[in-house]
Amino acid sequence: MTITFDDFLKVDIRVGRITRAEPFPEARKPAIKLWVDFGAEIGEKKSSAQITRHYTPDGLIGRQVLAVVNFPPRQIGKVMSEVLVLGVPDEDGEVVLIGPGHDVPLGGRLF
């Protein structure tokens, strides 16, 4: 499927920093609850991610990640997910988070 550049611009992808992470044992598949700070304009948002193969909650604190911030909130178990944290699958299909290679200002938009 082909999209236009204007279609791409509708997806608001921003950089945030994980400020808090907790196990999410109630999830159907192993997951971690995340709180991500996107800076003053957007603030802190919650999400959950099936990233337990490569990450621990403590190891995620302070990591910068990219996330879609303009999807409507979605109920995932007992968590209202407000953003979609982005990742790509490794060779086994397990999610590896996407983030900038260097620290950048929170809330910066991907173009």
Q: Which two tokens stand for residue 38?
A: 């996107």
Q: What is the pTM for the complete model shown?
A: 0.94
Domains of the chain, CATH where assigned? 5-97 (2.40.50.140)
Q: What is the pLDDT, as a whole number, of residue 58?
A: 97
CA dist 6 and 3 (Å) reads 8
Q: What are phi and psi of 7, to 5 degrees?
A: -60, -45
pLDDT over 90 at 18, yes or no: yes
pLDDT digits (tens, 9 = 90+) for 26-68: 888 899 999 999 999 999 999 999 999 999 999 999 999 999 9
> What CA–CA distance (Å, rounded) separates 86 from 16?
11
Per-residue model confidence (pLDDT) at position 28: 87
